[in-house]
Amino acid sequence: MAYVSVESDDRFEEGQEGLQFRSFLGDQSVPTQQNGGGSQATSRGPTGFWTVEYYQPFFDVDTKTVLKRCYTTLLPTSSSYLSTHLTPAADLYGPFWTLTTLIFALFLSSSLASSISAYLSDANDPVDYNFSLLSIAVSLVYAYGLAVPVLLWLALRYLGVGEWSVVEAIAVWGYGQFIWIPVSILCVIPVPILRWVLVGIAFGLSGYFLVANVYPILASAETKAVRLMVIIVALLHAGLAISFKVLFFSYYIVKEVGPTDPLPTDPVGRL
């Protein structure tokens, strides 16, 4: 590939074959007419948002970094997450794969719980697992983990509040859901009180992480009313916790109480 360095005088000349290659390597060519002020020494050239190169800066992480960002969301000292851990830039790998792993963990634990409960129950009907739960999990988790931060960021931009980028918002929400993965694995155990306790712990930890990290952004607004948006964040998170519990963690062992009924009715009671 030949690079022809074009100088300002050559602007209206046709050049060799009527083609002028403009090099974007800052050290090789003289900055040309329009880009005279704007050419950077390390420019990549104009890339659109549809190219892979546009998104590469958001995936510039190593394994250790991603793991560290994941488990530090569990610590109570995580209120300065944005400044201490998401440096120099937030990434998109962690949030996306945490959410995807969460979906699969919910599906796994739910199906495992249903088989174990059916196995240990007295009524030995063959259990068919409800596959629609997988698509419900996908929509629920992605809607909460991706759409809510984007909407919040848009709302804050509209109000002129906050200096964070949409990638940081997605990162906070995505990494914050990490606690649900071990909790959903543990919720296979079919003891009701244990499941409620686990869901409560997960809700508490992740809710605290979200609120502690979002509140400083909201607090930088002039009007006090914007701080009330943190209540919306907490309410949405509570809704998520309850829907997880009801949809995925509710397969229980059904044991017969009392002597068996001599009349041949089916479980619903119709003859």
Partner 1 sequence: MDHEITASTPLTSTSQFIQADDDDIDEDDIPAFTHPSIQTASPSPDKGKARASEQLAPPFGSVPTVSGSIGSTSGAGAKSSRQTVGGVQVETRYTGVDTLDEPTSKTLTRDLLSIYSKLVQVLYPRRSGSAREVLRDWDLWGPLILCLLLAILLSTNAPPSQSLGVFTSVIVIVSVGSLVVTVQAKLLGGRVSFFQGLCALGYCVAPLNIAALVATFVRIIWVRAPVALAAWAWCIWASVNFFDGSKIERQRILLAVYPLLLFYFILAWMILIQ
CA dihedral 186, 191, 197, 200 (to 10 degrees): 70
Cβ proximity of 205 and 255 under 8 Å = no
If binding is defined by CB under 8 A, does position 51 make contact with partner 1? yes
Residue from 93, 208, 215, 252 binding partner 1 (CB under 8 A)? 93
Stretch of residues binding partner 1 (CB under 8 A), selected from 13-21, 27-35, 44-52, 75-83: 44-52
176 token code pair: 């914050």
Taken in order 256, 259, 260, 263, is the CA torsion positive or negative? negative
Residue from 1, 41, 225, 257 binding partner 1 (CB under 8 A)? 1
User: What minimum distance in Å lies between the beta carbon of 1 and partner 1?
Assistant: 6
Please, which residues have CB within 8 angstroms of residue 181's CB and are 6 or more apart in sequence?
A: 98, 101, 102, 105
If binding is defined by CB under 8 A, does position 19 make contact with partner 1? no
| Spatial separation of the C-alpha atoms in residues 18 and 190, rounded to whole Å | 76
If binding is defined by CB under 8 A, does position 3 make contact with partner 1? no
Stretch of residues binding partner 1 (CB under 8 A), selected from 130-138, 157-165, 193-201, 255-263: 130-138
Question: What values do phi and psi take at 264, rounded to 5?
Answer: -80, 80
User: What minimum distance in Å lies between the beta carbon of 92 and partner 1?
Assistant: 9
Please, which residues have CB within 8 angstroms of residue 170's CB and are 6 or more apart in sequence?
A: 90, 92, 95, 145, 146, 149, 150
103 token code pair: 């979906």
Residue from 74, 116, 134, 221 binding partner 1 (CB under 8 A)? 134
Would you give the binding string for partner 1 spanning residues 207-246, x where CB under 8 A is met? Answer: ----------------------------------------
* Cβ atoms < 10 Å from Cβ of 248: 22
User: What minimum distance in Å lies between the beta carbon of 72 and partner 1?
Assistant: 18
Q: Which is nearer to partner 1, 48 or 264 (CB)?
A: 48
Taken in order 46, 92, 216, 225, is the CA torsion positive or negative? positive
If binding is defined by CB under 8 A, does position 131 make contact with partner 1? yes
With vertex at residue 113, the alpha carbon angle to CA 119 and CA 189, rounded to the nearest 5 degrees, is 100
Q: Which is nearer to partner 1, 112 or 236 (CB)?
A: 112
Residues near partner 1 (CB under 8 A): 1, 48, 50-53, 55-56, 58-59, 61-64, 66, 93, 97, 100-101, 104, 107-108, 111, 115, 128-132, 134-135
